[in-house]
A and B are shown apart, each in its own frame.
Chain A
Amino acid sequence: MTEEIIIAGFGGQGVLSMGKILAYSGMMQNKEVSWFPSYGPEMRGGTANVTVIISDERISSPILNKFDTAIILNQQSMDKFENSVKEGGLLIYDPNGIVRHPVRTDINIYTIEASDEASKLGLAKIFNMFVLGGYLSIKPLIDAEYIHKGLEKSLPLRRHNLIPENEKAIARGKEIVHAVHVLN
């Protein structure tokens, strides 16, 4: 098994940290992992993206232009990465702020209204965990206990009190993901 993922959105949406939690969780489950961020000025407000690979084998290229899954959180990223999803792959996006929706018919497409849900619950800061939950409900690569360990590893000790909240967001994310276009 090798899963190649791109997560893309605005800086500040928790794109990099979502990728980090995914990578840590994969590592805790004894998988090979890599996490390759866009870096530089993007980190401070522009668009940000991260490539995460989770695999049972030694990872070849951490840098890719075709992905099994794209998790898209803003319009620029939609424009940039819709065509980078492999045929038969998966695209999940939060429709909030999206004016041009994906049009491909050779991939699986899901939406997750994570930002709305997160604001409703007063958890806007961990909106990315709803998205992560949505992704894991479609591709359950990593068991919940390893997600927990991943959170423990990637959050600093003084933030460990927030782990239950994060897990709640992940669980809720699994419930609010909607299929738009699913291949047979």
Chain B
Amino acid sequence: MKDIRLMKGNEAIAEGVIRAGCDGYFGYPITPQSEVLEYLMANNPEERTGMVVLQAESEIASIHMVYGGAAAGKRVMTSSSSPGISLMQEGISFMAGTELPCLLLNVVRGGPGLGTIQPSQSDYFQAVKGGGHGDYKMIVLAPASVQEMYDFAKLGFELAFKHRIQVMVLSDGAIGQMMEKVELDDQLPRLTDAEIVKKYPWATTGKTPDRPRNIITSLDLNPVKQEIINQNLQKKFRHIEQTEVRFERFMCDDAEYLFVAYGSSARVCQKAVLLGRAKGLKVGLLRPITLFPFPVDELARLAKQVKGMQAIEMSAGQMVEDVRLSVNGVVPVEHYGRLGGIIPAPDEVLHVLEQNFIHSKKEKQYEPATY
């Protein structure tokens, strides 16, 4: 019988990592993601799989504990929300420089600064364009449901080890806090230390006579060598762009107008598509699931089909830049966003799309609902 539960997004990913055979979680509380650490502490991963869970003294310490574990070949992760993720950028950059696999969860809240604890998507640039210092990318997965919060735990670790890269699950307060049905998988076993030695020959597991010592470092003071290191990193990112793009098409086949949105905004747009279809409008939704790599080709293809694209984000316009780069001027691309923790409503975003592409511009502009 299927194990189906009603869970918060934050709880679902916590259960997901236990079942994906995660070895260690290191984190620090922050709203709206504290349920991850709370759930892990309450649900005995140590007894169930031997997974280690530790509340660190800060987000900085958390990410460097992740670094230490990852450099020794373990499946490790941390989670936080926007201000905490900013603190972690040093460690993430070091992991990029050393090509260490890990899973990171950002349950995004509004910024800048302390901002708000309400949901937001204003960390897109930070997640997708690099975030810390240096030329690097992470794979960024954007869950739009509690089920995906769960699923992306396992997928995240798979991708992280497949490419030796950091995988960030870019969620938001809405997905983290809401409850939906989740179907759980069976427990995957954790790798044994012997299996790690065999599978990950680069890991610092203790130098044995049969191999030279393993060193995990991002330092090389020789510019010629450092350039080669960087070129190899870029090669890997290009390969990921070719092979790991994920997206969902919702009523796109005959669409004349397209919403482009990810995460909870995509859920809002999904409803807006239904509202639009009920009015006889041929509206569709393209939902990027991977934000890096971005579904560039799919959007370029859709650009030849639709009359306009409406990006919807809880930001001042971040993902829309990638949409515009993808369609390269072939169709108009408009941005609409709500800021500061406000989630746009389905009829609100439909109205915006209609105003921008269907009705005459002379008509009265939609006044966003106040909350």
- Asked whether any CB of chain A lies closer than 8 Å to the CB of B174, the reply is yes
Partner of A33, one of B117, B180, B264: B180
Asked whether B268 lies within 8 Å of A61 as measured between CB atoms, the reply is yes
Surface stretch bound by B, among A34-42, A101-109, A159-167: A34-42
**Chain B residues with CB under 8 A of A36:** 174, 177-179
Asked, given contacts A20-B179, A34-B178, A65-B345, whether A60 binds B6 with beta carbons under 8 Å apart, the answer is no
- Asked whether any CB of chain A lies closer than 8 Å to the CB of B204, the reply is no
In the docked arrangement, what's the CA distance between A64 and B274, Å?
13
Asked whether A39 lies within 8 Å of B177 as measured between CB atoms, the reply is yes
**Chain A residues with CB under 8 A of B369:** 65
Asked whether A64 lies within 8 Å of B174 as measured between CB atoms, the reply is no
Q: Which of B171-202 contact A (CB under 8 A)?
A: 173-174, 177-181
Asked whether B178 lies within 8 Å of A62 as measured between CB atoms, the reply is yes
Q: Which of B259-286 contact A (CB under 8 A)?
A: 264, 267-268, 270-274
- Asked whether any CB of chain A lies closer than 8 Å to the CB of B348, the reply is yes
- Asked whether any CB of chain A lies closer than 8 Å to the CB of B84, the reply is no
Q: Which of A55-101 contact B (CB under 8 A)?
A: 59-66
Q: Shortest beta-carbon distance, B83 to chain A, in Å?
A: 15
**B interface size (C-beta, 8 A):** 27
- Asked whether any CB of chain A lies closer than 8 Å to the CB of B347, the reply is yes
Q: Closest residue to A19 on the B side, CB-wise?
A: B179
Asked whether A34 lies within 8 Å of B32 as measured between CB atoms, the reply is no
- Asked whether any CB of chain B lies closer than 8 Å to the CB of A27, the reply is yes
Asked whether A27 lies within 8 Å of B6 as measured between CB atoms, the reply is yes
In the docked arrangement, what's the CA distance between A63 and B267, Å?
8
Q: Shortest beta-carbon distance, A160 to chain B, in Å?
A: 17
Partner of A63, one of B6, B117, B345, B347: B345
Asked whether B179 lies within 8 Å of A61 as measured between CB atoms, the reply is no
Q: Shortest beta-carbon distance, A151 to chain B, in Å?
A: 13
- Asked whether any CB of chain B lies closer than 8 Å to the CB of A113, the reply is no
Q: Closest residue to A59 on the B side, CB-wise?
A: B180
Q: Shortest beta-carbon distance, A8 to chain B, in Å?
A: 13
**A interface size (C-beta, 8 A):** 21
- Asked whether any CB of chain A lies closer than 8 Å to the CB of B1, the reply is no
Asked whether B267 lies within 8 Å of A60 as measured between CB atoms, the reply is yes
- Asked whether any CB of chain B lies closer than 8 Å to the CB of A23, the reply is yes
- Asked whether any CB of chain A lies closer than 8 Å to the CB of B306, the reply is no
Q: Shortest beta-carbon distance, A142 to chain B, in Å?
A: 14
Further contacts, 16 of them, CB under 8 A, given A34-B178, A66-B345: A24-B6, A27-B4, A27-B6, A33-B6, A33-B179, A34-B179, A34-B180, A36-B179, A37-B177, A39-B32, A40-B32, A60-B270, A61-B267, A61-B272, A63-B264, A64-B346
- Asked whether any CB of chain A lies closer than 8 Å to the CB of B355, the reply is no
Q: Shortest beta-carbon distance, B173 to chain A, in Å?
A: 7
Q: Which of B219-267 contact A (CB under 8 A)?
A: 264, 267
In the docked arrangement, what's the CA distance between A37 and B117, Å?
13
Q: Shortest beta-carbon distance, B63 to chain A, in Å?
A: 25
**Chain A residues with CB under 8 A of B272:** 61
- Asked whether any CB of chain B lies closer than 8 Å to the CB of A178, the reply is no
**Chain B residues with CB under 8 A of A39:** 31-32, 117, 173, 177
Hey, what's the 0/1 contact readout for B54-78 against A, CB within 8 Å counting as 1? 0000000000000000000000000
Asked whether B118 lies within 8 Å of A40 as measured between CB atoms, the reply is yes
The 5 closest A-B pairs by CB, nearest first: A61-B271, A65-B345, A60-B271, A35-B179, A60-B270
Partner of A37, one of B178, B268, B274: B178
**Chain B residues with CB under 8 A of A35:** 6, 178-180
**Chain A residues with CB under 8 A of B181:** 27, 32-33
Q: Closest residue to A51 on the B side, CB-wise?
A: B178
In the docked arrangement, what's the CA distance between A61 and B350, Å?
13
In the docked arrangement, what's the CA distance between A29 and B174, Å?
25
Asked whether A62 lies within 8 Å of B345 as measured between CB atoms, the reply is no
Asked, given contacts A34-B180, A40-B118, whether A61 binds B347 with beta carbons under 8 Å apart, the answer is no
In the docked arrangement, what's the CA distance between A37 and B46, Å?
31
In the docked arrangement, what's the CA distance between A20 and B4, Å?
16
- Asked whether any CB of chain A lies closer than 8 Å to the CB of B343, the reply is yes
Q: Closest residue to B269 on the A side, CB-wise?
A: A61
**Chain B residues with CB under 8 A of A27:** 4, 6, 181
